[in-house]
Amino acid sequence: MCSDKTHRFYFVVLAALLVCALFITGCPKPKEPAPSDVPETGYDITDPANQGDVHGIVYVDGRPQAFGIVQIYDTADSKLKECRTNTEGSYTLCDFAPGRYVLRYINAVGNRVGDDVEIEILPARDIEKDLRFSK
């Protein structure tokens, strides 16, 4: 059997080899954003610090709408997320990269209400967008 001193010696040697290997090969570098992730504006759209939220209240004929669904679509008309309005008609959709989006409202019984609403999320900004519709 090996003594405690022998174990410590092997541990120190192994640790020294690991440090040398990291020094020679270099530490792993963080992933650089792909060129397509950095538009002409110069910010990284995949960086969570650049994302924004959308929140507001849904009104139909001036009254807040409870338990409806607010959906958010990209410019290719692909649904990204949806959420239900609360009892006061409030909604929140979180974590979107800067860009243009479309909001759509579905009432509590499943009928689409009004026209789509276009929005733009700017880097690191939340937007408040009340949705107002008439019957």
pLDDT digits (tens, 9 = 90+) for 32-69: 444 444 455 556 666 777 889 999 999 999 999 999 99
Q: Let me know if residue 29 belongs to a domain.
A: no
Q: Let me know if residue 5 belongs to a domain.
A: no
CB 64 within 8 A of CB 56: no
CATH number of the CATH domain containing 66: 2.60.40.10
Q: Let me know if residue 28 belongs to a domain.
A: no
CB 106 within 8 A of CB 87: no
Q: Let me know if residue 27 belongs to a domain.
A: no
Q: Let me know if residue 119 belongs to a domain.
A: yes
Domain count, the chain: 1
Q: Let me know if residue 118 belongs to a domain.
A: yes
Q: Let me know if residue 126 belongs to a domain.
A: yes
pTM: 0.67
> How many residues make up the chain in this entry?
135
Q: Let me know if residue 32 belongs to a domain.
A: no
